[in-house]
Amino acid sequence: MLTCPDPPPVTVIVDPGDDLVHTRAALAAHDPPAGRITVHPTPGTDSTLALAHDVLAALGKPVPVAGYRGHDTGPAWALAAAWILATGTTHLLLLRAHFLTQPRLDALLLLRRRTGLRLTLVVHTSRLPAGVDRILSGVRHHFADATALLPAADGPSAADCPLPRPLANRWIALPALTTLLAFDEPTRPCRCSAPLAPDRDFFPPVISQPTQTEVARRLHRATAHPHLAAELATAVFTAASTTQLRTAHVHDLGPAAATADARDSS
């Protein structure tokens, strides 16, 4: 498993008064497109898996994650790490950190080492609980006052409210996906191919900007599985079939992963 050799020190914000102003400021700091997420853990549980799901939910992913054993925490944390790296998330702020158990804090610190996150823990007590203090004693960390790092957040203005999306809650017909799962027989591979121009150069599907934006948003929120999300996104914007997508490997990606080489399995 790859880890960041020297992740940034953990920041511990002390908020002994559990001030609503500071909590609102922490929640207002949540801005995934800017690389910052705020996690408000599910109350009433010390489940490590629940905390992983809280992180995935903060990243905009649907939870719980299907396809894994119910008590296996590893896949959920691995998915969280994959999405943090894929989306360029750099900061994770966790509220109610004084309730962290050792397994949950260990999982967060491992996520920090995997991704290089700037981890901020907000403790709503006058001092760290003994268990949290003991674990952090072996980790680079520093303390900060809530007033300095979590100033009062202004309420949203009318100008900050997002405009309604024209394609929200509507079906979107994407001709490119007609090649994705077009099987001749259940046991035979797809024989379809992406559209080719007369000169054999590939022309990618033409998708309007509003449709691109809405499709990207739906793909982002549709699945917590990075592999499936990548396959769907590639199919939408290239019209590649399942068979072609399965031939692509990491070394087939172009600069900045903007292009990918695929070939027919035959």
Question: Residues 105-159: pLDDT tens digits?
Answer: 999 999 999 999 999 999 988 888 888 889 999 899 999 888 877 776 555 555 5
Residue where a domain terminates, one of 156, 191, 209: 156
pTM of the model as a whole: 0.70
The answer to whether residues 137 and 182 belong to one domain is no
- At 144, list the tokens: 């900060």
**198 lies in a domain?**
yes
| 80/55 Cα distance (integer angstroms) | 7
Residue 202 within a domain: yes
* Conformation bin of residue 67: beta by default, left when phi > 0, alpha when psi is -120 to 50: left
**H/E element, 243:** helix 242-245
**Same structural domain, 152 and 68:** yes
Residues 40 and 97 in one domain: yes
14 with 143, same domain: the answer is yes
Q: How many CB atoms lie within 10 A of CB 58?
A: 20
20/97 same-domain check:
yes
Smallest CA-to-CA distance from 38 within 149, 148, 143, 136 is with 149
Count of CA atoms in the C-beta half-sphere (13 A) of 241: 17
What's the chain's Rg over C-alpha atoms?
Answer: 22
Q: Is residue 168, in this structure, part of any structural domain at all?
A: no
Residue 3 lies in a domain: no
Tally of domains within the chain:
2
In a domain, 5, yes or no: no
Could you give the CA distance from residue 236 to residue 230 in angstroms, rounded to a whole number?
10
Distances (CA, A) of 126 to 123, 139, 142, 145: 8, 20, 15, 11
- Quickly count: other Cβ atoms within 10 Å of residue 266's Cβ: 6
Choose among 178, 172, 174, 173: nearest CA to 240: 178
**Which CATH number covers residue 52?**
3.40.50.300
* pLDDT, the chain, mean: 79
Closest Cα to residue 55, out of 75, 84, 31, 28? 84
Of 156, 188, 204, which marks where a domain is finished? Answer: 156
Give the domain extent around 183. 175-257
pLDDT in tens, 26-76: 998 999 999 999 999 988 889 999 999 999 999 999 887 776 676 788 889
Co-location of 47 and 145 in the same domain: yes
Is the pLDDT higher at 182 or at 106? Answer: 106
Q: Quick one: 69 and 200 in the same domain? A: no
Do 69 and 198 lie in a common domain?
A: no
- The pLDDT value recorded for residue 264 is 61
Sign of the Cα torsion 253, 255, 257, 263 reads: negative
Cα–Cα distance for residue pair 122/91, rounded to 1 Å = 13
Which tokens hold the place of 23? 């909590």
The strand ranges marked E within 132-191 are: 141-145
One domain, residues 112 and 222: no
Give the residue from 89, 121, 156 where a domain finishes. Answer: 156
Same domain, 150 and 191: no
Judge whether 35 lies within some domain. yes
Residues 228 and 147 placed together within one structural domain of the fold:
no
Residue 2 in any domain: the answer is: no
**Residues 28 and 146 placed together within one structural domain of the fold:** yes
pLDDT tens track for 222-247: 666 676 777 777 777 777 777 777 77
Whether residue 70 is contained in a domain is answered as yes
Cβ count within 10 A of residue 172: 12
Among residues 158, 26, 155, 140, which one has the least CA distance to residue 94? 26
Please give the span between the terminal C-alpha atoms of the chain, in angstroms, as a whole number: 34
